[in-house]
Amino acid sequence: MTKPSLAALLARLLLVAALPLAGGCDMLSELLEIPNPAREHAIKEAEGRAIGGACRHAGRSLEDCYTLNPTAEKASVFAGWRDMNDYMMEHKLDTVPSRLVPGAPPATSVKSPDTTPEAAKTAPAPAATH
């Protein structure tokens, strides 16, 4: 049995020492689809705070905010609402009321031109280019 060379032994030792460092890499964790409960909780917390702050800025009550966002964590929604309330009071900011009509269907992004036969009869014919 032959002994491994010093270079091979050093390379193996370096590889073993670097493994814990690679395990902490977020990109590696995402590639391997390793669940990270702390990161997922931080994302939900930040999203809840953003929702709460937006609700307060729009002048919505905390209860309305809970009703409109049932999947958000209530504690983080409250924290965001309270932070925005303190900020608005400190800087003497008014609320920005919502311009949405209650019960109205959501608007579509870009409407395509009407191509129904009735619209074709009333629409002017395109000009011919020569």
pLDDT per position as a tens digit, 42-64:
999 999 999 999 999 999 999 99
Domain-located, residue 85: yes
Domain-located, residue 91: yes
Domain-located, residue 130: no
- pLDDT score of 109: 60
**Residue 50 structural domain:** 38-95
Domain-located, residue 31: no
In angstroms, the CA 46 to CA 56 distance is 15
Confidence class for position 17, pLDDT limits 50, 70, 90: confident
Confidence class for position 7, pLDDT limits 50, 70, 90: confident
Domain-located, residue 51: yes
pLDDT single digits (tens) 69-124: 999 999 999 999 999 999 999 999 999 987 877 777 766 666 555 555 555 555 55
Domain-located, residue 7: no
Find the helix packing angle between 37-57 and 74-90, rounded to 10°: 40
Domain count of the chain? 1
Domain-located, residue 71: yes
- Are the CB atoms for 76 and 44 separated by under 8 Å? yes
Range 15-24 average pLDDT = 68
Torsional sign, CA 58, 64, 70, 76 = positive
Domain-located, residue 49: yes
Number of H helices, E strands in the chain: 6, 0
Judge whether residue 21 has pLDDT over 70: no
What one-character DSSP code corresponds to residue 118?
H
Indicate the pTM of the whole model. 0.58
- pLDDT score of 68: 94
